[in-house]
Every structure is written in structure tokens, then in C-alpha cells.
């Protein structure tokens, strides 16, 4: 079997690369022995899925982080092979492993983006590694895995990957299987597309909508005179008001008090 093993660029130079992160759900609840076992199993399943897809894992620049593996894939890696067959084989590996009654169940969130990456002292630098770290922690992705309890894997890809690769008509990639989500994590904001192998898009869409909306802060009587009233409602995926989720902040001006004859100033 011939593996896809593109040549590596010189270290330290910025190149456009495919970045991937796989994060174990609820890893912190495990004891030390189980954490070590889960880490080994995660690496094994990623290795097997890559081998079945004819991807050379030895050429991946991997940055393990305990419950998460971040990887920068070689230049010229076929994105459609990663988004399609690799994800499929990983989902099958997870399903088969979790079917063993004695096994500690492993459920994964996975994120992918394509962008500029450079080697750095602590790993990698560039917008793509940052974006992947934010996408894998997207509230919608967490909500999907929490709601669809039968799912073992939930995947989110950047809007660029969706537009350039998923919608390109390549075999094995169905744009209709992806659900768009507006991701806001820390200072990052952007659109991503979520797919859960084995689950219908309507189920994914409904699960993503379970993301908790922010709750207005209670106001005391002392606060009332000094704070202008703020409304909070959801409009096109953005919460508008004091607590903002979705990147839109709206201050509602308070009209000046009316003046005129007979009104005390």
C-alpha cells in the first residue's frame, strides 16, 4: 500500500497547512489510570484511521496535550481525504471500540481548518492553529455531542474548508450533511460547519440549538437609577444586551427626560 507522504517544507517558514485537533469529551472526569489508557487508545485510533486513508502519520507535526492532539499535516495533503475517508474510518474505530462493554467510552470533538502555520518555540504559530483551538471548543459542537448521546464523534470544519472542499463536488463529501454555526470563543469569531457521522443534519441542527443562551443579570433597586435599561434577545444567532454571545453589542440610548412647563427639573 502506497502512503501519501508529501515532502516537508523547511522548518520555521510559514506555509498554508491543514490543521486538525481531536479532543476527548469529559476527559477530566477520568482517574489517572483511565486517562493514560484513553490517551493510548486515541493515538491508536488516529493511527489506524490515517493508515486506512493512506495518510502518513509519521509526517504529521503533532502536538499532544493530554486529552487533545493538535496536528499540522504535510503540504499537499488531500483535504477531501481527511474530511471524508479519514473521518469515516475514525468514526468506525470509535464505534467498534465503544461497543465493547468493558471499555471506557471515548467520544471526540474534532476541528479542522486550512491556513498559515509556522513552527514556533512552543509548537506552532499562525491563524490556523488558533482557529482550530477555538473551533474544537465551540459551544455548538459541545452541545451537539452532549445532546446526541449515541454519537461518538462530532466534527466541525472552517467555513473556508467547507466552501473550498466540501462544496467542490468531490466524491464522498455531501454539503447537505453539514450544519452552519456562528462560533464565538474568546476573541475569535467565525462560521464553522458541523457534521456528526451517522446522524441526520436536522438532528445536528436541533442539538446545536441547545447551546445555552445567556441569562440577564438581575438588577438591584440601587442599580436602577444609575444604569440605563438594556434589552436582551436573540437576533440572527446573536444575543443583544449586557451579556453578549455572537459578537454583537448594542447599547440602547436612553432618551432625555421630558422638560416643559409644570415639570420639575
Q: What is the pLDDT of residues 197-233, one digit of tens each?
A: 999 999 999 999 887 444 344 444 444 443 333 333 3
Res 169: pLDDT:
82
Q: pLDDT tens digits for 57-114?
A: 999 999 877 788 999 999 889 999 999 999 999 999 999 999 986 778 999 999 999 9
In the chain, what percentage of residues exceed pLDDT 90? 49
65 φ, ψ (degrees, to nearest 5): -140, 45
In the chain, what percentage of residues exceed pLDDT 70? 72
Of 3-7, 149-153, 169-173, the range with the lowest mean pLDDT is 3-7
Q: Looking at per-residue confidence, does 218 or 137 come out higher?
A: 137
Mean pLDDT of 154-172: 92
Please report which confidence band the pLDDT of residue 244 belongs to, taking 50, 70 and 90 as the band edges: very low
Q: What is the largest CA-CA distance in the chain?
A: 92
Res 106: pLDDT:
94
**Cα gap 193→182, rounded to integer Å:** 9
Mean pLDDT in the chain?
A: 78
Nearest by Cα to 175 from 188, 194, 147, 190 = 194
Q: Which domains does the chain have, with CATH numbers?
A: 15-208 (3.30.70.1230), 213-255 (no CATH)
Res 2: pLDDT:
56
Res 243: pLDDT:
31
Q: pLDDT tens digits for 247-257?
A: 332 333 444 44
Q: Looking at per-residue confidence, does 240 or 13 come out higher?
A: 13
Res 201: pLDDT:
95
Amino acid at each position: 500500500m502506497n502512503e501519501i507522504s508529501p515532502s516537508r517544507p523547511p522548518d520555521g517558514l510559514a506555509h498554508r497547512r491543514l490543521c486538525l485537533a481531536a479532543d476527548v469529551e469529559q476527559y477530566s472526569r477520568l482517574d489517572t489510570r483511565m486517562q493514560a489508557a484513553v490517551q493510548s487508545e486515541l493515538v491508536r485510533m488516529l493511527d489506524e484511521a490515517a493508515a486506512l486513508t493512506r495518510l502518513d502519520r509519521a509526517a504529521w507535526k503533532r502536538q499532544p496535550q493530554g486529552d487533545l492532539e493538535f496536528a499540522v499535516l504535510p503540504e499537499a495533503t488531500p483535504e477531501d481525504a481527511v474530511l471524508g475517508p479519514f473521518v469515516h474510518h475514525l468514526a468506525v474505530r470509535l464505534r467498534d471500540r465503544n461497543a465493547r462493554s468493558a471499555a471506557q467510552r471515548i467520544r471526540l470533538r474534532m476541528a479542522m481548518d486550512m491556513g498559515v502555520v509556522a513552527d514556533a518555540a512552543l509548537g506552532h504559530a499562525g491563524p490556523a492553529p488558533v482557529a482550530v483551538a477555538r473551533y474544537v471548543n465551540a459551544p455548538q459542537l459541545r452541545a451537539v455531542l452532549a445532546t446526541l448521546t449515541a454519537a461518538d464523534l462530532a466534527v466541525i470544519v472552517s467555513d473556508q474548508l467547507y466552501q473550498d472542499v466540501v462544496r467542490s463536488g468531490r466524491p464522498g463529501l455531501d454539503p447537505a450533511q453539514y450544519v452552519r454555526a456562528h462560533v464565538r470563543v474568546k476573541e475569535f469569531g467565525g462560521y464553522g460547519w458541523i457534521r456528526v457521522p451517522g446522524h441526520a443534519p436536522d438532528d445536528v441542527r436541533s442539538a446545536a440549538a441547545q447551546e445555552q443562551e445567556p441569562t440577564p443579570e438581575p438588577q438591584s433597586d440601587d442599580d436602577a437609577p444609575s444604569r440605563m435599561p438594556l434589552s436582551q434577545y436573540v437576533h440572527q444567532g446573536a444575543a443583544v444586551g449586557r451579556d453578549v454571545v455572537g459578537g454583537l453589542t448594542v447599547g440602547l440610548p436612553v432618551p432625555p427626560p421630558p422638560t416643559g412647563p409644570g415639570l420639575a427639573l
